[in-house]
Amino acid sequence: MTKPKVFVTCPPMLGLIDEFQDDFSQVGLDCVAAETSQVLSVEELIAEVPQYDGWIIGDDPATRAVVQAGVAGRLRAAVKWGVGTDNVDFEAFKDHDIPVQNTPGVFGNEVADVALTYALGLTRETYWIDRQIKDHKTWPKPSGISLTGRTVAIVGFGDIGRQTARRILACGSNVIVYDPFFQTDASLDVTPSEWPKRLNEADLLIFTCPLNEQTKGMFNGALLGNLKPGVRVVNVGRGPVIEESALVEGLRSGLIHSAALDVFEEEPLSADSPLRSFEKCIFGSHNGSNSADAVRRVSRLAISKISGFLARG
């Protein structure tokens, strides 16, 4: 009997794919690794997905057209690797009675570690100092700011937001939280607020929220008047939460001191993006969750889920 085939398109999982071959084999599945370092296009997915019984999705555009093509072929189940789901048309899967789930609540610690790294990098300018020493052979001594006693605003109080708050509080900061579904956590001394009230108090603004209709473009040109001069901005959530044109405007005017972005409106960041001209900014490659420990844990969870789905049918 031929084993069901599972198509894997998630880059972090692909980076350690050899480690998971035994995991697939143990549950009676064959793994086929996509050739990609970011995402496949809709056209590529329409050509590929119908050949497989299961699909472990990365940040690929899992659109209705892709789902329909998959269903017309062999596709019987899918798992979205990771937390974010804005690239997946869940309604399309539901309409075709194809089971699909993500792996929620799995990267809080990893992404929060990066958020803290970025916060410290912006406030103490450590990344900029490193580049000046290596690239320009200089010996700079900029006066950064301390996190202790500063006010940090965190947008989103899910798993990532809570873990970020825990780390920021340990630095002695005051934390304001924005989340319409805020729930008190007795272990975290944070103050909830309604967006965008009290933003003018924040020395640091950190986005950890998912992308949805409410959060898309919530940082925009109209918001700039609410910001405290010299604010630092961090985004480890989703790129389109920030309108980059507004961020560039704030950086050019000096209203915003600097920004650290692990995610962008379009990825990879284009070679001609105006963001590249701000030397004190820090950029990542949408890699905040990608620790080897987390990748192993979440990949095995995804394999378990896809195996369970395919076993039912």
Q: Which residues are catalytic?
A: 238, 267, 286
SS3 288: coil
Q: Measure the CA–CA gap between 52 and 84, rounded to whole angstroms.
A: 23
Antiparallel, parallel or unpaired: β 151-155 and 231-235: unpaired
- DSSP 8-class letter at 221: G
* Gap between the Cα atoms of 217 and 228, Å rounded: 19
Q: Is the bond leading into 240 cis (omega within 30 degrees of zero)?
A: no
Tokens standing for residue 8: 């894997």
Q: Exposed, middle or buried: residue 201 (CB in 10 Å: 0-12, 13-18, 19+)? A: middle
Nearest to 39 by CA among 66, 69, 74, 77: 66
Closest CA to 30 of 56, 10, 11: 56
- How remote is the C-alpha of 259 from its chain's centroid? 16
Is the peptide bond between 196 and the residue preceding it cis, with omega within 30 degrees of 0? yes
User: Shortest CA distance to 2 belongs to which of 26, 28, 22?
Assistant: 28
